[in-house]
Amino acid sequence: MAAILRGSRNVWGRIRHVDYTLVSSRSMASKTQVGFIGLGNMGNPMAKNLLKHGYPVIATDVFPESCKELQELGAQIVDNPAEVADKADRIVTMLPSSPNVIDVYTGANGILKKVKKGSLLIDSSTIDPAVSKEMALAVEKMGAVFMDAPVSGGVGAATSGKLTFMVGGVEEEFTAAQELLSCMGANVVYCGAVGTGQVGRPPPPPGSHWVPLPTRSTA
């Protein structure tokens, strides 16, 4: 953890330009496969809402029992994040903590092992902004794009598709991210560069009964 955070104060100056035409040119009306990693209390209903909106979902979770219901609804279940990345060029991750995100993206069977150039990776986990920036750098080296999009609203809002997403990342990709996030939320707000989604994440609205994500390893 310490190693990946080292030098994060200078992360803004180290981000290089990549060819965003690979990702920003994708058809907004397409219903191509979407990867989803992390089927916990929040991720499960979020993935279901993508299915309801007609997106074929390829999903995985470290707990096989978490995948059963989604599989019955038509999702394709694979063994690990690398397999998701091999099959989908748009992936949403919803994980409990910074270490989980680091492992899912950079681990032995992580997304970056098989990520396609031009892929759009959206992390809706609530984590340290410095980790979001480091993941963005690692993803960029592979020719893909990372955006942080943490949520507010809790399990009830996730189920009803009324979450609020605060999005950080390259502005040219916001429309593409919004296409997917709007299937899972009622409000999708662009905050600025990578990491600002985490910083700008709003407090839960009064009476929302929002609770933090459960502490569970979800991959």
In a domain, 24, yes or no: no
In a domain, 16, yes or no: no
pLDDT at residue 182, as a whole number: 97
For the chain, how long is the longest CA-to-CA vector? 46
- Which residues span the domain enclosing 78? 34-199
Q: What number is the average pLDDT over the span 26-44?
A: 83
In a domain, 206, yes or no: no
Does residue 202 have a pLDDT over 70?
no
Q: What number is the average pLDDT over the span 148-159?
A: 95
Candidates 158, 167, 156, 163; CA nearest to 47 is: 158
**How many domains does one find in the chain?**
1
Does residue 85 have a pLDDT over 90?
yes
Lowest mean pLDDT among 22-31, 108-117, 181-190: 22-31
pLDDT at residue 30, as a whole number: 59
pLDDT at residue 199, as a whole number: 82
> Whole-angstrom Cα distance, residue 58 to residue 71?
9
pLDDT at residue 31, as a whole number: 82
In a domain, 214, yes or no: no
In a domain, 67, yes or no: yes
Q: Answer whether 86's CB lies under 8 Å from 62's CB.
A: no
What pLDDT, in 10s, does the model give residues 161-184? 999 999 999 999 999 999 999 999
Does residue 62 have a pLDDT over 50?
yes
Phi and psi torsions of 57, nearest 5°: -110, 135
Q: What is the DSSP letter of 119?
A: -
Tell me the CATH number at 188: 3.40.50.720
pLDDT at residue 208, as a whole number: 38
**pTM reported for the whole predicted model:** 0.80
In a domain, 20, yes or no: no
Candidates 52, 40, 140; CA nearest to 93 is: 40
In a domain, 54, yes or no: yes
pLDDT at residue 2, as a whole number: 40
* Predicted confidence band of residue 219 (pLDDT cuts 50, 70, 90): very low
pLDDT at residue 217, as a whole number: 38
Packing angle, helices 129-141 and 98-106, rounded to 10: 10
In a domain, 212, yes or no: no
pLDDT at residue 197, as a whole number: 92
More confident residue, 20 or 158: 158
Average pLDDT, rounded, for the chain: 84
Q: Answer whether 149's CB lies under 8 Å from 166's CB.
A: yes
pLDDT at residue 201, as a whole number: 54
